[in-house]
Amino acid sequence: MSKRVVIFDTTLRDGEQSPGVSLNLHEKLEIAQQLARLGVDVIEAGFPIASPGDFEAVKAVAEQVRGPVICGLARANRKDIERAAEALRGAEEARIHTFIATSPIHMKHKLRMEPDKVLETAVEAVKLAKSFTSNVEFSAEDAFRSDVEFLCRIFSAAIEAGATTINIPDTVGYATPQEFGAFIKAIINGTPNMDKAVVSVHCHNDLGLAVANTLAALENGALQVEGTINGIGERAGNASLEEVIMALYTRKPVYGLETSVNKSEIYRTSRLVSNLTGMLVQPNKAVVGKNAFAHESGIHQDGVLKERTTYEIMNPEMIGIFTNNIVLGKHSGRHAFRERLKELGYSLDDEKLTKAFARFKALADRKREITDEDLVVLVEDELRTFPEAYSLEYLHITSGTVLVPTATIRLRREEENFEEASCGDGPVDAAYKAIEKITDTGARLASYAISATTAGEDSQGEVSVKLEREGRFYTGRGVDTDIIVASAKAYLNAVNKIVFDGMLAVKPERAV
């Protein structure tokens, strides 16, 4: 019988460490609920000591998400561990993940501790964590650049102290697959009581080898994989979970391992994480990229039309990417709409369906054909229960080669309309300045990215922005066939998050 690999998702912790990403409580909960539907075994929901916001988010995930084990990260010290335990109190099953660095470079320069002190600190931390929950993970940060003999000693002591999972990270993404496989084997063989714990790996992608290293570790005895959706994370990111999961499934005879992930939720999870973090997925990304199942050249198209498996090693439907066999457009009715959504995995109640259908019709008036991707964008927007303080009522732009770009914008908040006009360096800048005049967030536009959700000249533009206000980042996303409108919606989406955070409780004074 195949062994089962534990899937440990750290999108909400290491993934959130991606520069510029900051998820609020509501967004973390939404991702965590989706990860539960995906069927990951463990959700690392955050680092509770890091901030009151992270504490509250871990607490909310622990209290509200059922199915996976909920985990919180803690340095090897009393304060971190107690804070993690407090945040995790409401979980069905809680895991405390405590860590300390073990490489000479980290121990000497960062921790300024002798190895024996590091070992003693690790043991104390595991014991303390164990007093709160039976499920304790210990990680040796920068393990790959650590001495194997020292690692075996510290792991053995951590297991003795109660650790049930031993995590071996390649924190800086330095390993190569062959080396990493041999390294894992050496540690397992050199730690006498390792059979009492699950061996886990946590690989970073600095050399683009995180998934390859993870798979090499699994071939050598590891049985827990840590990674993130879309591979987001610190620097170049973490091992991409969807790639590991699909590699194990597609090449099962090679690995002989199973996961209990519900693969049909992979694509939806990827979209949600991309939308909420504002980190776009590169088109050629394996498994979930826009081009992962697209065929451009004639010989390939011919082959796929005759037999899909000539050029596809995975079935896109299995991971929730559906090919479009019913063409939806402005003449389609509710039945076809509902049916298509069902095929895409969405079942909306009547009220949400009515709203989504109205938006679909409005879009169909502007766009000849509505693709599955358009529908996913539309429905995800509808399912999101994020309260909208401001909504866009009206946008008028004048722009051109000889005109100063000018925007007039009208926003609605609590039954009142607010209108302003502004000039700018371009139409988007003008629109943003007009929105700022009304909302007065004082935020800085930290990043702006635009992409087309689908191919074709009537494709929808998808805009992601990041606003920075008092050191916090707020992501926003907007989709529309008009890219200036999409840009305004994205900006407003981020503004609404600032309002949701309680940062802008006061309404503007001058209504029209």
Ligand X SMILES: CC(C)C(=O)C(=O)O
Q: Which residues are annotated as a binding site?
A: 14, 202, 204, 238
Interface residues for ligand ACO in 217-236 (CB under 6 A)? 234
Stretch that binds ligand ACO, among 74-82, 316-324, 331-339, 347-355 (CB under 6 A): 74-82
Residue 294 CB neighbour total at 10 angstroms = 13
Residue 110 contacts which entry, ligand ACO, Mg ion, ligand X, none (Cβ below 5-8 A, type-dependent):
ligand ACO
- Our CB check for ligand X shows the closer of 216 and 434 to be 216
Interacting residue with ligand ACO among 99, 418, 432, 491 (CB under 6 A): 99
- Cβ at position 236, least distance to ligand X in Å: 12
Residue 167 contacts which entry, ligand ACO, ligand X, Mg ion, none (Cβ below 5-8 A, type-dependent):
ligand X
- Residue 328 is classified by DSSP as B
- Our CB check for ligand ACO shows the closer of 200 and 493 to be 200
Judged on CB neighbours under 10 Å (0-12, 13-18, 19+), 260 is exposed
Residue 493 contacts which entry, ligand ACO, ligand X, Mg ion, none (Cβ below 5-8 A, type-dependent):
none
- Cβ at position 111, least distance to ligand ACO in Å: 5
- Residue 171 touches ligand X, criterion: CB under 6 A: yes
Q: How many residues bind ligand X (CB under 6 A)?
A: 9
Cα distance between residue 85 and residue 440, in whole Å = 39
- Residue 115 touches ligand ACO, criterion: CB under 6 A: no
- Our CB check for ligand ACO shows the closer of 110 and 334 to be 110
Strand partners, 473: 468
- Residue 206 is classified by DSSP as T
Q: Does the CA dihedral 470-475-480-483 come out positive or negative?
A: positive
In contact, 420 and 471? CB cutoff 8 Å: no
In contact, 96 and 132? CB cutoff 8 Å: yes
- Cβ at position 121, least distance to ligand ACO in Å: 7
- Residue 54 touches ligand X, criterion: CB under 6 A: no
In contact, 364 and 370? CB cutoff 8 Å: yes
- Cβ at position 239, least distance to ligand X in Å: 11
3-state secondary structure of 134: coil
Q: How many residues bind ligand ACO (CB under 6 A)?
A: 15
Interacting residue with ligand X among 27, 30, 55, 99 (CB under 6 A): 99
Interacting residue with Mg ion among 14, 141, 242, 436 (CB under 5 A): 14
Relative orientation angle of helices 52-64 and 78-87, to the nearest 10 degrees: 40
Cα distance between residue 37 and residue 92, in whole Å = 16
- Residue 381 touches Mg ion, criterion: CB under 5 A: no
Residue 258: both structure tokens together: 């199973």
- Cβ at position 197, least distance to ligand X in Å: 15
Interface residues for ligand ACO in 16-35 (CB under 6 A)? 17
- Cβ at position 153, least distance to ligand ACO in Å: 17
- Residue 140 touches ligand ACO, criterion: CB under 6 A: no
Give whole-number Cα distances, 21 to 149, 389, 467, 500, in Å: 37, 22, 11, 17
- Our CB check for ligand ACO shows the closer of 4 and 109 to be 109
Contact mark string toward ligand ACO, 395..414, x via CB under 6 A: --------------------
- Residue 167 touches ligand X, criterion: CB under 6 A: yes
Residue 473: both structure tokens together: 């980042």
Q: Which long-range contacts (CB under 8 A, 24 or more apart) does 502-506 make?
A: 503/441, 503/469, 503/470, 504/389, 504/439, 504/440, 504/441
- Residue 76 touches ligand ACO, criterion: CB under 6 A: yes
Give whole-number Cα distances, 295 to 289, 301, 307, 370, 396, in Å: 13, 6, 13, 20, 39
Residue 500: both structure tokens together: 């949701």
Strands (E), 275-415: 390-398, 406-413
Strands (E), 272-363: none
Residue 139 contacts which entry, ligand ACO, Mg ion, ligand X, none (Cβ below 5-8 A, type-dependent):
ligand X
- Residue 110 touches ligand ACO, criterion: CB under 6 A: yes
Residue 77 contacts which entry, Mg ion, ligand X, ligand ACO, none (Cβ below 5-8 A, type-dependent):
ligand ACO
- Specify the length of the chain in residues: 512
- Our CB check for Mg ion shows the closer of 14 and 41 to be 14
Residue 189: both structure tokens together: 């063989």
- Residue 231 touches ligand X, criterion: CB under 6 A: no
Q: In what order do the strands lie in the sheet with 390-398?
A: 390-398, 406-413, 416-423
- Residue 139 touches ligand X, criterion: CB under 6 A: yes
Interacting residue with ligand X among 83, 202, 268, 497 (CB under 6 A): 202
Cα distance between residue 427 and residue 187, in whole Å = 59
Q: Using CB under 6 A, list all residues that contact ligand ACO.
A: 14, 17, 47, 49-50, 75-77, 99-100, 110-111, 141, 171, 234
Q: Using CB under 6 A, list all residues that contact ligand X.
A: 14, 99, 139, 141, 167, 169, 171, 202, 204
Q: Using CB under 5 A, list all residues that contact Mg ion.
A: 14
